[in-house]
Amino acid sequence: MPHGPIFSDWNYGVLRDFFRLLPHTGSRDTVAQFLTVNALASTWIFSAVFFLFWRIEDKRRDWRRSQLLEVAFAFFLAMIVTLAWRPWIGWAAPSLVPRFQTLYPDYFWNDGNHNCFPSHSTLIYILVAAGFWPFKRWLSALLMLWVLLGISAPRIYVGGHYPIDILAGILIAGVALWIARWICATPRVAGLLSQTIVKGSVLLDLFLFLWLFELAEGFRSSYIIAMGLARGARSIL
């Protein structure tokens, strides 16, 4: 039987109060499902903003692009860590756990991930939104708010995540971004980034294209590939 998260009682209490405030209705469930599965309605904006900042041509262009590459670097750091611990740390989504299923309509049951910790959607888009802070603080704050309202909350509402998954995603994003900034501030890495941006290359253009594509659609394709490789590696080991 799927087991629930750590601090199970706390998570249950938060969800129970949340659904008392916003009870499940047909229209609310439809909106939440729509935002969860439709990237054009929820996550594409982050790819668009990233692209717009990358394309700005002014005296700060190289600095701005180096900041954006640091965001991508922070993302890869976070993914490596979370995928590495995934076989040993995690729990099933609320829609799969009998105790938590009672909080949801039965059409949400059995439709979640068997390991929903942390919320990778929250992690990714909070990280990217925070990465825009050096450029436009009001925009960064607005995008972080959208992550919570348009990405995290709908996934909680349909039974895909617990509150602790969201909090962990935010915390990991902050730590990953801080570490990436620290690493990229070292002279050797900073010089490499600067050289890469100034020279430009087909590889950099290809990376930008793939990054924007995956960022827009929630890294679903990359996640499937990564999990397949992880399962293959575990079977070999």
Tens of pLDDT along 54-112? 999 999 999 999 999 999 999 999 999 998 888 788 999 999 999 999 999 999 998 88
Coil/strand/helix, residue 111: coil
Check pLDDT > 90 for residue 10.
Answer: yes
Q: Is 195 a member of any domain?
A: yes
Q: Is 1 a member of any domain?
A: no
Q: Is 177 a member of any domain?
A: yes
Please answer whether residues 182 and 47 qualify as being in contact, where contact means their C-beta atoms are separated by less than 8 angstroms.
Answer: no
- The residue range of the domain holding 57 is 8-236
Domain count within the chain: 1
Q: Is 3 a member of any domain?
A: no
Tens digits of residue pLDDT in 97-135: 999 999 999 999 988 889 999 999 999 999 999 999 999
What local confidence, expressed as pLDDT, does residue 48 receive? 96
DSSP 89: S
Report residue 179 as tokens: 């570490």
Q: Furthest-apart CA pair in the chain: how many Å?
A: 58
Q: Is 99 a member of any domain?
A: yes
Tens digits of residue pLDDT in 41-51: 899 999 999 99
* pLDDT classification of 234: cutoffs 50, 70, 90: low
Q: Is 2 a member of any domain?
A: no
Tens digits of residue pLDDT in 182-205: 999 999 998 888 888 887 778 888
Q: Is 132 a member of any domain?
A: yes
Q: In this structure, what CATH number is given to the domain that contains residue 217?
A: 1.20.144
Q: Is the peptide bond before 187 cis (omega within 30 degrees of 0)?
A: no
Q: Is 50 a member of any domain?
A: yes
